[in-house]
Structure 1
Amino acid sequence: MISNNLQSSVVLVEYTDTYDEHLSNYHLGEDQLQFTSLPLDKIKNPNVSNNAKHVLILENSVPVGYFALEDGEKLFKYSNNSNARLMTAFSIDSRNQGKGLAKSGLQFVKNNFSETDEVVLGVNKRNIPAYNLYLKTGFEDENEFYEGPKGPQHILHLRV
């Protein structure tokens, strides 16, 4: 368990199936689902590497956010750094948005993955709210782009 000193009720944990019932009720609006996937869909996706770390953001022991940290072939579409991890499917349950949970979760990444020296991600150019959130939490836009399945993406970097 990775605890948050700033807000004691928020922690990050690696996924286990004990959270499946809560995750089956996870909600994202259609406007967000066009850019990401629901946590259980990502976790159970057979195309995701077995080495991926699935991370839950918990508030009072209930999953309110999720992201995956991937390596391998998918990572190398975004970075040549073998010590980097690709953050995918980052989301906060729509009923818990606006509480600063995304910002808290992203700030934890900096301090809690010692084998990683960089986190990269692709954010769709049309997803302005997510792009701005990532910049506010320390990601840098180095003017690199990736043509994703849903259009061009900014490639953002977070040195950890």
Structure 2
Amino acid sequence: MFIQSKGTVSLDFYKEEYKSKLSHYHLSKEQIRYAPLPLNAILKCENDNTRYPIVILCNGVPAGFLVLHGWEGVKAYSNNKDAILIRGYSVDTTFQGKGIGKKSLLLLDSFVKKQFPSKREIILAVNHKNTVAQYVYKKGGYIDSGVRVMGRKGELFILHKDLI
């Protein structure tokens, strides 16, 4: 399913045709601390049918990536079985600073509603030191739930957005 915004940003489930561009995906050293490269995340998705790799496109070119994870991912952060978890969210350094992050997060609402109609909430965990990501998520409408969880790399803030 392909969801496109009025601008140039769109979301699509990962397809083999995106692999070549994603193999040249770049994140800074700081960003790699918090998010895997897409091809590594896709390998995990291939072994877990509750993970769905999503490509963020800018003018049809892979510009970002995320994984939507069902209950197996959600249950570490919430008891809401009607939630879906964002994990591994990133935008390639080449495309950063252009509003793609915010646009993709806003598009994600309609994408999840259409593709996962039973889901009523989107949640995510963000490292307390990752202030840039926190800023982007909040611009995308995510709210701090007040829940804190200790992750492998430190304290995580759990953010959420209700789907109306």
TM-score range, shorter chain: over 0.9
Q: Deviations along 1:59-100, whole A, 9 cap, x unmatched? A: 121100110110132210111111111100100000110000
Q: Which structure 1 segments of 5+ residues have no match? A: none
1:146 aligns with 2:146: no
1:77 aligned counterpart, secondary structure: coil
2:64 maps to 65
Change (3 A) 1:92 1:46: closer
Q: 1:126 aligns with which of 120, 123, 129?
A: 129
- Distance in 1 separating the partners of 2:59 and 2:162: 29
Contact 1:10/1:58 (<8 A) preserved = yes
Give the letter for the 1:99 counterpart.
Answer: K
- Distance in 2 separating the partners of 1:109 and 1:59: 14
- Distance in 1 separating the partners of 2:111 and 2:59: 20
1:57 aligned counterpart, secondary structure: strand
1:50 aligned counterpart, secondary structure: coil
| Residue 38 of structure 1: how far off its partner (Å) | 0.5
- Distance in 2 separating the partners of 1:155 and 1:14: 24
1:81 maps to 80
Q: 1:137 aligns with which of 133, 137, 140?
A: 140
Contact 1:42/1:48 (<8 A) preserved = no
Change (3 A) 1:146 1:121: same
| Residue 45 of structure 1: how far off its partner (Å) | 2.0
2:4 maps to 3
Give the letter for the 1:84 counterpart.
Answer: A
Larger helix fraction of residues: 2
2:150 aligned counterpart, secondary structure: strand
Give the letter for the 1:2 counterpart.
Answer: I
Contact 1:49/1:70 (<8 A) preserved = no
- Distance in 2 separating the partners of 1:131 and 1:66: 17
Contact 1:28/1:93 (<8 A) preserved = yes
Change (3 A) 1:100 1:48: farther
2:42 maps to 43
Q: Which structure 2 segments of 5+ residues have no match? A: none
Contact 1:70/1:88 (<8 A) preserved = yes
Change (3 A) 1:47 1:77: farther
Give the letter for the 1:4 counterpart.
Answer: S
How many positions carry a matched residue from both structures?
A: 158
Q: CA RMSD in A?
A: 1.3
- Which aligned segments of 4 or more residues in structure 1 are displaced greater than 6 angstroms? none
